[in-house]
Amino acid sequence: PPASTLTIPFPTARLASTAERALAVDAELSPLVRRSFSLGGIHGGGDDETVLKVEYAATTNRMLRVAVNGFFESLGVVLGVMEELDVDVVGLPGKESVAGAQGVAPIAEGERAV
């Protein structure tokens, strides 16, 4: 069956854990999609808990695409809230650039995210 693993790096383990807890509360809408969360390094290192891993499995490619798209919408909301409300995030450089990533737009100085 179609499957995908998403790895999302965060500046700190606390933020990765917070994102995991915020995103895990919403169950998948379709019983044809399975999703699991874990924290760990990008290359399998279990001690680096700054990376959120999300594993998806679905019965069809279309179901996988729809589920992953929905996840990225929710992730965008969580990241926006973190950026606005979490003092640890303000001004910290990320592990990877998100420049050019679909759905990610920079917020100009003085502008508020909605």
Whether 108 is covered by a domain: the verdict is no
**Model pLDDT, residue 96:** 56
Q: Say if 37 falls within a structural domain.
A: yes
Residue 77 lies in a domain: yes
Tally Cβ neighbours within 10 Å of residue 31: 8
For the ranges 2-11, 66-75, 104-113, the lowest mean pLDDT is seen at 104-113
Residue 101 lies in a domain: no
Instruction: Give the residue numbers spanning the domain of 50.
Output: 3-85
pTM of structure: 0.68
Q: Cα separation of 49 and 44, whole Å? A: 11
pLDDT tens-digit readout, 28-61 = 888 999 999 999 866 555 557 889 999 999 999 9
- Under the banding of pLDDT at 50, 70 and 90, the label for residue 11 is confident
114 within a domain of the structure (yes/no)? no
Is 96 within a domain? no
- As beta bridge partners, residue 39 has 52
pLDDT at 106: 60
Q: What is the mean pLDDT of the chain?
A: 80
Q: How many domains does the chain have?
A: 1
Task: Tell whether 42 is covered by a domain.
Answer: yes
Residue 78, domain member (yes or no): yes
Q: Where residue 15 sits, what CATH number does that domain have?
A: 3.30.310.50
Q: CA neighbours within 13 Å on the CB side: how many for 43?
A: 0
